């Protein structure tokens, strides 16, 4: 019997010993910059002369690593190896599979600052954002280890039937394609891999191209605790080649994906097509983003609301699917909240996140993201009133820095109030009253997270019913879901509502088998 699950605590970097430890981890990580990394299929290290680079977005000339450009043939090989390995891995007792996760959690906990440092350098995360990411990864490992044991045999939930011995078992699906995003480059890959592996599946793992270095370190963590060869196969390369083959192959049983709506819809459509030789209907476990809203009414604590708006909008440069990129404020308090939000956002420090914990905002992830965000800011100047930011931060390194940008008086149906921007851009929208605000909240095609700041009990209860998102937060910011506490996943175009960190999440990686023996 495992001890009770508890969320991982966060390090306090204001303490000298933690500050020193993090600086040491950054020094170690920097010593590894520029190495070349292979594919790993069935434990076989496969090197390629054809490589692509991953860079430090704060210093784009700095290549953190070179990675093999895998091919469709490599994907086929990895899927075939995973298929063969599944024949034995599926029968490994769940307690044994869970122990791999627990060992990985213990190792990551000891090396927490190392993983933090990789994210600071490759993803541009601040120290505290990186710390939260690594802590969440540890939580996934610990939580899913326990949940896998709980759900493996659910025979005790069946009604008694004396003529027969009955059982109900959640058994693995098969081979999974694991395709995570770059914005939570440690937590989400770790969670997807842990969920698939602990339930008895084998996987082919293709990390996001922007954070392949971190992806390799996550895979290496699993291998380091003795995971058998072929259970986790590491594949890198262009998504349109490698990722596409992983999705469409008849050997693939399920796809675990987090990323953009466009790619998610492509996966959803193509996973539904039965390929020649395919014996099953593929399962798609998708999380695709959001245009999340914070609603503030006239009864709210306005200081708490303003603090929550800024924290939700600009944490990790707004590059979270849960980011509160719309603040919908009731007319009678709009000016007060607008003024305070701008004041708080002005205090956010932006710069090289490897310099220390005082830097709250780093660069956006790459040049494509930078251009897309700046294009949206140009749109915003036509749709609303620019209150803060709007111009990139010029640095000697030509890093992809965009300060916190706020537009006021934005129409509810403006592009910057409806479309996901995935950057540090906040639209302030005025509502006539609470009912109008709730209408605006539900006006987008997404439904991931949202928050309401109000001290009106009837409105809080109405929001529970009518604020249509997968994760609703009352009188707190709309980011920062904790594993096992805030199961995470959204409605509508935000995905399949596959609640990561929830008690039923692992069921999506299994299929139920009922067995009855006549006595």
Active-site positions read: 287, 321
Q: What are phi and psi of 435, to 5 degrees?
A: -60, -40
Q: How far apart are CA 25 and CA 10, in angstroms?
A: 16
In a 3-state reduction of DSSP, which class is residue 361? strand
Q: Are 115 and 28 in contact (CB under 8 A)?
A: no
- Secondary structure (H, E, C), 38-102: CEEECCEEECCCCEEEEEECCEEEEEEEEEECCCHHHHHHHHHHHHHHHHHHCCCCHHHHHHHHH
**Closest by CA position to 296, among listed 180, 433, 101, 168:** 433
Q: Which conformational region is residue 316 in: left (phi greater than 0), alpha (psi within -120 to 50 degrees), or beta?
A: left
| 254-258 and 175-179 strand pairing | parallel
Q: Are 318 and 325 in contact (CB under 8 A)?
A: yes
* Cα–Cα distance measured from residue 476 to residue 153, given in angstroms and rounded to the nearest whole number: 38
282 φ, ψ (degrees, to nearest 5): -70, 150
Q: Are strands 326-330 and 293-296 parallel, antiparallel or unpaired?
A: parallel
Query: SS3 sequence, 463-504?
Result: HHHHCCCCEEEECCCCCCCCCCCCCECCEECCECCCCECCCC
Cα torsion 492, 309, 131, 483: sign: negative
Query: Would you tell me how many other CB atoms lie within 10 Å of the CB of residue 256?
Result: 28
Q: Is 337 left (phi over 0), alpha (psi -120 to 50) or beta?
A: alpha
Identify whether the C-beta of residue 234 lies closer than 8 Å to the C-beta of residue 219: yes
Beta strand segments in 152-282, E:
164-172, 175-179, 202-205, 232-234, 254-258
Tell me how far apart the alpha carbons of residues 294 and 150 are, in angstroms, rounded to a whole number: 36
Which residues, 6+ apart, have CB-to-CB distance to 184 below 8 Å?
133, 136, 258, 320
The CA–CA distances, whole Å, from 501 to 2, 141, 294, 321, 506 equal 18, 10, 23, 16, 9
Contacts of 311 (CB under 8 A, 6+ apart): 477, 479
């Amino acid at each position: 019997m495992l001890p009770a699950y508890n969320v991982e605590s966060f390090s306090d970097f204001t303490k000298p010993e933690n500050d020193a430890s993090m600086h040491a981890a950054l020094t170690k990580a920097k010593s590894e910059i520029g190495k070349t990394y292979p594919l790993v299929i069935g434990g076989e290290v496969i090197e390629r002369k054809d490589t692509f680079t991953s860079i430090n977005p704060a210093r784009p000339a700095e290549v953190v690593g070179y990675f093999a450009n895998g091919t469709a043939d490599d994907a086929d090989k990895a899927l075939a190896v995973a298929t063969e390995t599944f024949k034995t891995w599926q029968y490994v007792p769940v307690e044994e599979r869970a122990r791999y996760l627990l060992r990985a959690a213990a190792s990551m906990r000891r090396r927490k600052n190392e993983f933090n440092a990789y994210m600071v350098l490759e993803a541009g995360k601040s120290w505290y954002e990186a710390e939260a990411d690594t802590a969440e990864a540890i939580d996934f490992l610990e939580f899913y280890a326990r949940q896998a044991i709980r759900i493996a045999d659910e025979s005790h939930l069946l009604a008694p039937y004396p003529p027969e011995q009955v059982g109900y078992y959640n058994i693995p699906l098969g081979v999974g394609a694991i395709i995570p995003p770059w914005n939570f480059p440690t937590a989400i890959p770790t969670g997807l891999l842990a969920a698939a592996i602990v339930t008895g599946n084998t996987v082919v793992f293709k990390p996001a191209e922007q954070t392949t270095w971190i992806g390799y370190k996550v895979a290496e963590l699993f291998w380091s605790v003795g995971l058998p060869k072929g259970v986790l196969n590491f594949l890198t390369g262009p998504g349109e080649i490698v990722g596409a083959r992983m999705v469409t192959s008849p050997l693939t049983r399920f796809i675990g994906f987090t990323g953009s709506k466009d790619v998610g819809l492509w996966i959803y459509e193509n996973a539904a097509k039965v390929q020649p030789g395919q014996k099953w209907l593929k399962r798609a476990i998708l999380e695709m983003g959001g245009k999340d809203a914070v609603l503030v009414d006239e009864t709210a604590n306005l200081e708490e609301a303003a603090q929550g708006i800024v924290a939700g909008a600009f944490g990790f440069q707004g590059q979270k699917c849960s980011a509160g990129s719309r603040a919908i404020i009731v007319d009678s308090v709009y000016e007060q909240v607008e003024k305070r939000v701008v004041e708080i956002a002005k205090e956010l420090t932006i710069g090289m996140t490897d310099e220390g914990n005082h830097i709250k905002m780093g660069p956006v992830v790459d040049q494509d993201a930078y251009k897309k965000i700046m294009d949206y800011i140009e749109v915003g100047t036509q749709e609303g009133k620019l209150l803060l930011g709007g111009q990139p931060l010029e640095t000697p390194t030509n890093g992809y820095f965009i300060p916190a940008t706020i537009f006021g008086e934005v129409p509810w149906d403006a592009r910057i109030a409806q479309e996901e921007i995935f950057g540090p851009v906040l639209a302030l929208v005025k509502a006539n009253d609470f009912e109008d605000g709730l209408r605006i909240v539900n006006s987008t095609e997404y439904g991931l997270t949202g928050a309401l700041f109000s001290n009106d009990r009837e409105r809080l209860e109405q929001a529970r019913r009518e604020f249509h998102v997968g994760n609703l937060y009352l009188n707190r910011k709309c980011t920062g879901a904790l594993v096992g506490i805030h199961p995470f996943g959204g409605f509508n175009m935000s995905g399949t509502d596959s609640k990561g960190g929830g008690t039923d999440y692992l069921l999506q990686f299994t299929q139920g088998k009922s067995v009855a023996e006549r006595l």
